[in-house]
């Protein structure tokens, strides 16, 4: 008998039963990820007095402060009497393409 026979009995010896082995663990779909991950942040609330830009091409709505909107609007073209729904031609902050954009102020 060797020293390792105490740790794990041999299966070839008659009368010695082997312990049942544990089944292989299945892929844990939500275990560690659920414990150690943070949920994705939700959309930030639009502050009062912010300008809301809505793109006609991608349909995204972006809230900006006055200073951010002014820097994004240079250069731009505004035709409120000719184009009613999206009167401003400027770079969309969401898709970063030049397109027609609706600019409105948040009231509530």
**How confident is the model over 22-46, as pLDDT tens digits?**
666 666 667 777 777 777 777 777 7
- The residue whose two tokens read 């009167």 is 87
CB 54 within 8 A of CB 86: yes
- The residue whose two tokens read 């502050």 is 47
What value does the mean pLDDT take over residues 78-105? 86
Whole-number Å distance between alpha carbons of 55 and 52: 10
Residue 43's Cβ-side half-sphere holds a number of Cα atoms within 13 Å equal to: 7
Residue 3 pLDDT class (50, 70, 90 cuts): low
Q: In what order do the strands lie in the sheet with 61-64?
A: 61-64, 51-55, 98-105, 88-91, 77-78
Instruction: Look up the pTM and report it.
Output: 0.51
CB 19 within 8 A of CB 11: no
Task: Give strand pairing partners of 102.
Answer: 54
């Amino acid at each position: 008998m060797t020293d390792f026979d105490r740790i794990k009995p041999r299966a070839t010896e008659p009368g010695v039963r082997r312990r049942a082995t544990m089944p292989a663990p299945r892929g844990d779909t939500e275990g560690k990820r659920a414990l150690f991950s943070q949920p994705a942040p939700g959309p930030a609330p639009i502050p009062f007095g912010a300008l809301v830009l809505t793109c006609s091409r991608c349909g995204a709505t972006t809230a900006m402060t006055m200073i951010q909107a002014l820097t994004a609007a240079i250069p731009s073209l505004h035709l409120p009497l000719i184009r009613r729904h999206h009167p401003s031609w400027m770079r969309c902050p969401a898709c970063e393409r030049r397109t027609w954009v609706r600019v409105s102020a948040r009231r509530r």
